[in-house]
Amino acid sequence: MRLRLPHAVRHGFSAPVWGVATVAMLGCALPLVLGVVSAHNGFLWAALGAFQASLANPLHRYGMLRMLLMGTGGALAAALGHTAASHPLASLLLFGAMGLLLARLQRYGNEAGKLGLGLAVCLCLGQGSHVHSDLNNAAAVAMLFLLGALWATLLAFILRGLHALRTWPYMPRLLAVLRVMRRQARSVPRQTWRLHALGCVLTLGLAGLFIDLLELAHGYWLSLTVVIMLQLDLVRGLRPLLYMALAVLLVGGLMTAVGHSLQRPLLLSALLLPVIFFNRAFQARHYLLFAIQTTLGCLLLREGLATDWQQPQGRLLNLVLGIVLVLMVASLVQRLQGWRRRPA
């Protein structure tokens, strides 16, 4: 008997991929178990690397290539964020450059935008985790992240073997891929994209600067809030941003309530693994839903071994600061758009 899913699930999310979800869960389970046993939160970077790599479907034609790109790119972004922490000017420039890269990749289509989203999330986690991390070496952060990604990639190779597929699929010509991306970029109005890119640069740059200047604990709550809201077009109006802000506040409040009630890494990790499994089994097709799903999964993993849930007010304050920052920059960008349209 075939399982029939509800209409919203069937059309808003992909068909369940239980094998890929198993790869994601097993890839994150080993680092989490090691982290719980050793009480060292450095293993969270390996879990994050496995989760980022498992976002790609290894059974697809580009799956293995995307796994390697997300693993190596995420490790580099996390190391750069860790290095720039406690250096306000470096954080300002690095996060501003990431905002420009994110806007640029979004212009090339959803698949390129997903890669930019993963890089931005890893950069935010690398910078915001500097204060509460047991690792003071950016190279160690990158290596653990890469090891987790390679562990998930190994499981993906096994999954391809179980499906009787080639270990490494045939790759397309690079020129053909670039041609498709260039065609997608031409469909986006250049003036609108420039204003959106300006908003991304300002918002992410200021977020990185404020986290360092104010020495915010759990600063990645602020920067990840900014990254989620930047998946919307800053030029189209404030109403979608307000809806997104409300959703972020509700989800953030629910997360802090659950963390405050449990307050034990073992229980948090045991609750997290089924969430990762179903999160990956039912991956969103819509780009915005995918961004929310991915960012939330990374944030849950980062907080999986946290022991400081007694005072969750700092996390919620960072959420509010990120929302206010995005709304202020979005209003500025829309004023600039109105001035450009005004006749001389």
Please give the tally of structural domains in the chain: 1
Would residue 71 count as lying in a domain?
Answer: yes
Highest mean pLDDT among 12-16, 174-178, 192-196: 192-196
Query: How big is the CA angle at 36 (ends 35 and 37), to the nearest 5 degrees?
Result: 95
DSSP single-letter state for residue 138: H
Looking at residue 8, its pLDDT comes to 44
Other CB atoms within 10 A of residue 230 CB: 27
Would residue 5 count as lying in a domain?
Answer: no
Would residue 244 count as lying in a domain?
Answer: yes
Looking at residue 173, its pLDDT comes to 72
Q: Rounded mean pLDDT of the chain? A: 85
Would residue 1 count as lying in a domain?
Answer: no
Would residue 70 count as lying in a domain?
Answer: yes
Would residue 120 count as lying in a domain?
Answer: yes
Q: Which residue has the tokens 């009480």?
A: 39
Pick the more confident residue, 175 or 112: 112
Please report which confidence band the pLDDT of residue 6 belongs to, taking 50, 70 and 90 as the band edges: very low
Would residue 326 count as lying in a domain?
Answer: yes
Would residue 162 count as lying in a domain?
Answer: yes
Q: Give the pLDDT confidence of 77-91 residue by residue, as tens digits.
A: 999 999 988 888 999
Residue 5 has pLDDT above 90, yes or no: no
Of the chain, the percentage scoring pLDDT greater than 90 comes to 37
State which residues form the domain around 121: 15-168+180-341
Residue 305 has pLDDT above 80, yes or no: no
What is the torsion angle, in degrees rounded to the nearest 10, for the CA atoms of residue 70, residue 154, residue 126 and residue 291?
50
Q: Which residue, among 199, 47, 205, has the nearest Cα to 123 in the 3D structure?
A: 205
Range 319-322, long-range pairs (CB < 8 A, 24+ positions): 319/221, 319/222, 319/225, 319/248, 319/249, 319/252, 320/249, 321/210, 321/216, 321/222, 322/207, 322/221, 322/222, 322/223, 322/224, 322/225, 322/226, 322/229
Other CB atoms within 10 A of residue 214 CB: 13
Pick the more confident residue, 15 or 108: 108
Which tokens is 329 given? 């920059």
- Could you report how far apart the first and last alpha carbons of the chain are, in Å? 68
The kind and range of the H/E element at 246 are: helix 239-262
Looking at residue 340, its pLDDT comes to 61
Q: Is 2 helix (H, G, I), strand (E, B) or coil?
A: coil
CA distance 150 to 146: 6
